[in-house]
């Protein structure tokens, strides 16, 4: 969508899409669940609209049920009996092995002793352990035989002890099998309702199979090993917040919010004001723990693409281009048709770190970008993929024709703004005043602006002033005051400019006549406020080599458009006067007391009038200011800001006192753009100020000098004593003087200037 800011592009498109989306099917829900096989790759599951929250609540219910049921099963007499049997079997195996070792030792005259630090062996005599001193009194050969017996028994003891871990593992396996056997029935029973509720969804069925298998294997999560107080605390903690059960929870990425589970109707229409990378494609959040950052699948957050999936997404192109990586991520997503959650750190780090890799989600959505035309053309030129992805271009106009049908439509537009912002109603006079202001904003009396934002600002302020006056409706006076207050808050610099002119610091005459001097008009724009500023333009001429000096350009203060306008003046002079002789003119043009840049060609007609005055030596009325561009044939062409220019000069004249001789010359083609302030219109109606519309330079110079411009007759000469006649005679005089100068002094004579 191309168009200027504040023209209501997004509002209009959103209204259009919402009406269309209301009749389209609602998209499905999406959830992320724990992947029990590949833990760092959470699985995405698609669910019918409204079912995601049901699944999430159902899984919480499963965990709540198991937290209540499983501890009771493990405390039952049956379980305790079977658990003791396993323990007894393990202990019996150990005792049997020990008894066999003990019998072997007794037969060899060795006693096996149990000590706090383990097992010990000592010689025995008739079943009594031999004391150390008695052992040392035995003959050496007998002692050596006893030591060999002990070494052999220690080997057998070591072999027996090595069997203990195996027996312990068998005991643990038996206990685990017992626990799983006991838990299998409880887990299966807890999941029956969930399976029945989602029996038609294959993805949910596979997920529940994995959940059931994992719950049975990790049934110990539901059995507290602490005392009674710890068990009470464990039972009162919310299952969805208990870290032990996080992997069994469901992360709802996109789901209907209806409390009764009824699915929402229609496709989504989402507008994102802050299209950063994370807001666009989603992000993985982290939690600080023990100096580290941890994450899991429950910390995956959706992006606006997830919420708009199956519908429409509206984005501001300029904001998105200002967000790092957002534009490239959007292009990758649209080209692949899948939403992949990526972290910008993965693209910046040279060393990759282990993190989550959520399963990609298929994308089916329409994306609408908003921006001004220049941004669109820049993106199309700079990025070859842009036109491949965004093939439909809609250029949004910021004006509409002003006619009877438009009045009715505009009244409806104003009513919609009033309704949207909860304002007081606007009466007929107020609507008429808004329409007039609309044309003023559009800079065209035959057009109405579509910049809804600017109109809404005026209506909101008018609503305030109506409230201050105790009125129930917004009237003409309220709208007028809102407009004047907006101007008052923004026109400090305009007042300063007018003050410097009124005090004579900046020289601008509004009466009398001067040769080669004219009042040109320019526009200064400050944000949303623009005002007209009169400038004195002067021209000086003498004999020369046909050079027209633009002083603004010479000192690098003139822009290319202004320089072009000055060059057109030379084309006009050469094509209009003294056609049979070389142009022997040296002239200079300057904006007096201008200390900033000058650009645009709207002053070219004023500069030409000043040149003609200087050449004809006929004074120009200083009571009249001029604006308009000119071509090489002397046709006056339309310019911008005509209302502000007229009002700027009117304010100067009004401050000094209107005489009835003052006025402004504008191009005839700008008549349809006139939307002047009420005080200017009233002054014109009283004959105190005049707005002249001209089509040619000839018409303008007659108004400025009071003399006829003069037309070239059949004899090739202009009417005697006309402006054109005087100009041509002056140029012929320059040419003759130049010829005589070189005839008397030769080529390259001193004082000759070359261009």
The answer to whether the CB of 545 falls within 8 A of the CB of 584 is yes
From the candidates 439, 602, 604, 722, give the one annotated as an active-site residue: 602
Altogether, the residues listed in the chain come to a count of: 755
CA distance 319 to 330: 13
* 416 noted as active-site residue: no
Q: Smallest Cα–Cα separation from 440: which of 535, 330, 376, 528?
A: 528
Cα(409)–Cα(426) distance, integer angstroms: 15
Q: In the chain, helix, strand, coil percent, each to 5? A: 50, 15, 30
Q: Cβ(631)–Cβ(519) under 8 Å?
A: no
- Report DSSP state, residue 370: E
CB 463 within 8 A of CB 474: yes
Tokens of 85: 């049997």
Residues 6+ apart with CB under 8 A from 45: 30, 31, 32, 33, 201, 203, 204, 207
741, burial (CB in 10 Å: exposed 0-12, middle 13-18, buried 19+): middle
Report the distance separating Cα 428 and Cα 475, nearest Å.
Answer: 8
- Distance of alpha carbon 153 from alpha carbon 157, whole angstroms: 6
Helix pair angle (51-74, 140-197), 10° resolution = 140
The DSSP result for 655-681, as a single string, is HH---SS-EEEEEGGGGGG----HHHH
Residue with tokens 């053309």: 377
Question: Which residue among the candidates 56, 645, 722, 729 is catalytic per the annotation?
Answer: 645
Determine whether 169 is an active site residue: no
SS3 assignment, position 700: helix
Q: Comparing C-alpha atoms, which of 613, 567, 607 is closest to residue 591?
A: 607
Question: Measuring CA to CA, which residue among 53, 41, 69, 71 is closest to residue 240?
Answer: 53
75 exposure class (CB count in 10 Å sphere: 0-12, 13-18, 19+): exposed
At 542, give phi and psi (nearest 5°): -165, 175
d(CA 459, CA 423): 8
Residues acting as catalytic residues = 602, 645
């Amino acid at each position: 969508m191309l168009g200027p800011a504040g023209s209501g592009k997004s509002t209009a498109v959103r209204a259009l899409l919402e009406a269309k989306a209301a009749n389209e099917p609602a998209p499905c829900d999406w959830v992320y669940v724990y992947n029990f096989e590949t833990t760092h790759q959470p699985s995405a599951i698609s669910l019918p609209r409204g079912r995601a929250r049901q699944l999430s609540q159902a899984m919480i219910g499963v965990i709540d049920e198991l937290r209540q049921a499983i501890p009771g099963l493990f405390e039952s007499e049956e379980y305790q009996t079977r658990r003791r049997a396993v323990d007894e079997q393990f202990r019996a195996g150990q005792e049997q092995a020990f008894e066999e070792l003990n019998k072997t030792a007794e037969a060899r005259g060795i006693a096996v002793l149990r000590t706090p630090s383990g097992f010990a062996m000592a010689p025995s005599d008739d079943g009594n352990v031999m004391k150390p001193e008695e052992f040392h009194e035995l003959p050496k050969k007998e002692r050596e035989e006893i030591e060999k017996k002990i070494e052999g028994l220690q080997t057998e003891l070591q072999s027996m002890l090595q069997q203990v871990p195996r027996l312990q593992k068998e005991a643990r396996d038996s206990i685990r099998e017992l626990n799983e056997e006991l838990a299998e029935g409880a887990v299966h029973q807890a999941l029956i309702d969930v399976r029945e509720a989602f029996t038609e969804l294959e993805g949910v069925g596979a997920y529940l199979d994995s959940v059931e298998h994992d719950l049975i294997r990790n049934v110990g999560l539901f059995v507290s090993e602490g005392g009674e107080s710890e068990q009470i605390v464990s039972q009162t903690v919310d299952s969805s917040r208990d870290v032990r059960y996080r992997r069994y929870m469901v992360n709802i990425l996109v789901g209907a919010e209806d409390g009764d589970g009824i699915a929402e109707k229609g496709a989504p229409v989402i507008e994102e004001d802050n299209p950063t990378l994370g807001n666009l494609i989603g992000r993985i959040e982290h939690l600080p723990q023990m100096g580290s950052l941890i994450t899991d699948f429950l910390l995956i957050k959706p992006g606006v693409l997830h919420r708009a999936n199956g519908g429409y997404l509206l984005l501001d192109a300029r904001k998105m281009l200002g967000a790092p990586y957002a534009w490239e991520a959007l292009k990758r997503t649209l080209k692949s048709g899948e939403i992949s959650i990526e972290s910008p750190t993965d693209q910046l780090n040279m060393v990759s770190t282990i993190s989550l890799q959520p399963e990609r989600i298929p994308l089916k959505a329409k994306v609408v970008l908003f921006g001004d035309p220049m941004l669109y053309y820049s993106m199309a030129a700079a990025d070859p993929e842009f036109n491949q992805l965004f093939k439909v271009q809609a250029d949004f106009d910021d004006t509409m024709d002003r006619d009877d049908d438009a009045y009715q439509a505009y009244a409806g537009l104003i009513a919609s703004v009033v309704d949207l912002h909860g304002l007081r109603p606007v009466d007929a006079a107020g609507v008429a005043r808004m329409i007039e202001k609309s044309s003023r904003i559009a800079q065209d009396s035959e057009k109405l602006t579509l910049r809804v934002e600017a109109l809404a600002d005026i209506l909101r302020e008018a609503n305030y002033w109506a409230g201050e006056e105790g009125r129930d409706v917004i009237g003409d006076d309220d709208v007028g005051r809102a407009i004047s207050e907006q101007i008052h808050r923004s026109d400090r610099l305009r007042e300063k400019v007018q003050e410097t002119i009124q005090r004579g610091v900046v020289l601008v005459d509004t009466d009398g006549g001067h040769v080669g001097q004219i009042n040109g008009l320019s526009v200064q724009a400050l944000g949303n406020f623009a005002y007209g500023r009169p400038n004195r333009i002067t021209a000086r001429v003498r004999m020369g080599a046909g050079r027209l000096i633009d002083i603004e350009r010479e000192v690098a203060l003139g822009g290319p458009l202004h320089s072009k306008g000055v060059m057109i003046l030379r084309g006009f002079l050469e094509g209009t006067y003294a056609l049979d002789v070389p142009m022997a003119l040296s002239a200079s043009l300057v904006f007096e007391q201008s200390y900033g840049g000058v650009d645009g060609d709207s002053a070219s007609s004023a500069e030409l009038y000043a040149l003609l005055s200087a050449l004809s030596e006929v004074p120009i009325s200083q009571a009249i200011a001029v604006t308009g561009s000119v071509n090489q044939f002397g046709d006056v062409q339309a310019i911008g800001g005509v209302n502000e220019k007229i009002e700027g000069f009117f304010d100067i004249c009004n401050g000094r006192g209107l005489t009835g001789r003052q006025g402004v010359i504008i191009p005839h083609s700008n008549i349809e753009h006139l939307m002047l302030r009420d005080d200017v219109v009233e002054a014109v109606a009283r004959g105190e100020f005049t707005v002249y519309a001209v089509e040619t330079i000839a018409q303008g110079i007659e108004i400025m000098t009071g003399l006829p411009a003069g037309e070239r007759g059949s004899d090739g000469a202009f009417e005697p004593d006309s402006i054109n006649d005087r100009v041509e005679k002056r140029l012929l005089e320059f040419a003759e003087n130049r010829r005589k100068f070189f005839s008397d002094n030769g080529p390259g004579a001193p004082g000759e200037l070359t261009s």
